[in-house]
Amino acid sequence: MKLTAALLLALAVAVSAGFVEFGAHAGLLFPSGDGSDFFATSYIFGANLLAHMPIYAIEGSIGYGILQQEADSTDFSASLVPVLAGIRTYSGPIFYGGGAGMYISSVSWSGYDESDSDFGAYGNLGMIFPTGSMDIEASLKYHLVDFDTDKAWISLTAGTYF
């Protein structure tokens, strides 16, 4: 219930902003910390929301990471769903910022099934390339899951806004 109320509040603020863009992204998800011993570079894709204000922008995104195992296994399945909300500011075409996130993970392997939800934070650095009617965005994010460096992920994504 609290999560739903927070998401509705964030959506209301974003919709009441001056200029709102919606988009999609795809890229790579790199494990760091203890996760790099078990997980390999993985794929991530998702959707973005960007509400522009005079000096900053409110950003939100949801992604789906298909986690790959370092060693090959036929019965392995894992995913990471980052739900992010934050603020960014611009210096020309370059932007930087950060925010909070809820990271929902799921692992199934040889009869072992576990799902978990952790709060965390992220830092963001990127660049926007304007191209006619659309903007292309390249972004590098450092995700601290549960505020623990042993559960950190790095995402490198590119996407577009409509």
Domain range annotation of the chain: 2-161
**Residue recorded with tokens 């992204």:** 25
| Cα 54 to Cα 92: distance, rounded to the nearest angstrom | 14
Model confidence, pTM: 0.84
Q: What is residue 44's predicted lDDT score, i.e. its pLDDT?
A: 97
**How do residues 27-85 score in pLDDT, each as one tens digit?**
999 998 877 888 889 999 999 999 988 889 999 999 999 998 877 767 888 999 999 99
Angle value at C-alpha 140, between 6 and 50, nearest 5 degrees = 40
| Cα 17 to Cα 50: distance, rounded to the nearest angstrom | 10
| Cα 19 to Cα 75: distance, rounded to the nearest angstrom | 46
> Quick one: which H or E segment has residue 8?
helix 2-15
Can you give the three-state secondary structure of 109-155, one letter per residue?
A: ECCEEEEEEEEEEEEEEEEEEEECCEEEEEEEEEEEECCCHHHEEEE
| Cα 66 to Cα 3: distance, rounded to the nearest angstrom | 24
Res 95 pLDDT > 70 = yes
What's CA 98's distance to the chain center, in Å? 11
Worst-scoring range by mean pLDDT, 12-16, 99-103, 141-145?
12-16
| Cα 150 to Cα 23: distance, rounded to the nearest angstrom | 31
Q: What is residue 47's predicted lDDT score, i.e. its pLDDT?
A: 96
CATH class of residue range 2-161: mainly beta
**How do residues 115-153 score in pLDDT, each as one tens digit?**
999 999 999 999 988 888 787 999 999 999 987 778 899
